[in-house]
Amino acid sequence: MGFLTDLVGDLRRRLEREPLDESRLLAIAMQLPPPRPFDRALRGTEVPVVIAEYKRASPSARAIAEPDVARQARAYEEGGATAISVLTEPTRFDGALTDLRAV
How would you write the chain as a 3-class SS string? CCHHHHHHHHHHHHHHHCCCCHHHHHHHHHHCCCCCCHHHHHCCCCCCCCEEEECCEECCCEECCCCCHHHHHHHHHHCCCCEEEECCCHHHHCCCHHHHHHC
On the CB side of 102, CA atoms within 13 Å amount to: 18
70-103 pLDDT, tens digit each: 999 999 999 989 889 999 998 889 999 899 889 8
pTM of the model: 0.74
Question: Averaging pLDDT over each range in 15-24, 27-36, 60-69, which range is the top one?
Answer: 15-24
pLDDT of residue 69: 92
